[in-house]
Amino acid sequence: MQAEISILGLFLQASLLVKFVMLLLLAMSVYSWTLIFSRARVLKLAHEALKHFEKRFWSGHDLSRLYQETVARSERISGGEKIFFQGFKEFSRLHLMPGRNVDSVVEGAHRSMRVVLSREVEELEEGLSALATIGSISPYIGLFGTVWGIMNAFMALGQVQQATLAMVAPGIAEALIATAMGLFAAIPAVMAYNRYTAKMMSLETAYINLMEEFTSILHRQAMTESE
């Protein structure tokens, strides 16, 4: 309790600029933790949705039947299921066109899936750049507040006849809090960014593999129907 009171007291005694730095770092830390929790939920749901869809996709169900099941809730699908939905939809549309060519039909479906893939990856990446920014600049903002606070402390010492450690200690302590807050904001952001980037890349690889495997299935189906 005493530590909390002394830290609050040091904050109240700090200069306006150092207070602003501390409040800025606190806001960045709160925003960072908000992103950490929200991104954790998004990535977890995306991973679970992909596992569930892949189980259905490779269960041996007829692709047309799986597509019809997906159409019924097309507004709520995402990830691998959305890639499948858009690919099969485009394949079915192009397959009915007169004078169709197998390669052009499959290529058109593949391009359509690539567009969906890019959008899904963009949604997974949302917020990661902010985490990277917070993780990279927070220590420097905290260091700026520390340097400013220490500079003010030593400038105040120059105005007295006899300088003592007791006189300079509070000023240095309040300045060092800014560095601590900068690290407090940066470390979780960097750790979350690295972890979520790895998860996002893993999901992207899984989406690409699903898309390529589905493209091969469509190509075989188109070749069979054209014979």
Cβ 87 vs Cβ 215: under 8 Å? yes
Cβ 56 vs Cβ 213: under 8 Å? no
What percent of the chain is predicted at pLDDT more than 70? 85
Cβ 87 vs Cβ 112: under 8 Å? yes
What is the predicted pLDDT for the residue at 226?
Answer: 61
What is the predicted pLDDT for the residue at 81?
Answer: 93
Q: Is the pLDDT of residue 145 over 80?
A: yes
* Per-residue pLDDT reduced to its tens digit, 165-186: 556 666 677 778 888 899 999 9
pTM of the model as a whole: 0.82
Q: Is the pLDDT of residue 131 over 60?
A: yes
What is the predicted pLDDT for the residue at 3?
Answer: 43
* Per-residue pLDDT reduced to its tens digit, 212-223: 999 999 888 877
Tokens 């790895």 appear where?
Answer: 198
Q: Is the pLDDT of residue 18 over 50?
A: yes
- When pLDDT is cut at 50, 70 and 90, the band that residue 10 belongs to is low
* Per-residue pLDDT reduced to its tens digit, 41-71: 999 999 999 999 999 888 877 888 888 888 8
All residues at 6 or more sequence positions from 127 whose CB lies less than 8 Å from its CB, including other chains? 35, 38, 39
Give the C-alpha separation, 174 to 162, whole Å: 22
What is the predicted pLDDT for the residue at 1?
Answer: 40
Give the C-alpha separation, 143 to 176, whole Å: 8
Give the C-alpha separation, 186 to 61, whole Å: 48
Q: Is the pLDDT of residue 197 over 90?
A: yes
6 vs 94 pLDDT, higher one? 94
Structure tokens at 134: 């917070």
What is the predicted pLDDT for the residue at 16?
Answer: 82
What are the extents of the domains in the chain? Answer: 13-226
16 vs 168 pLDDT, higher one? 16
> What is the three-class DSSP state of 159?
coil
What is the predicted pLDDT for the residue at 177?
Answer: 84
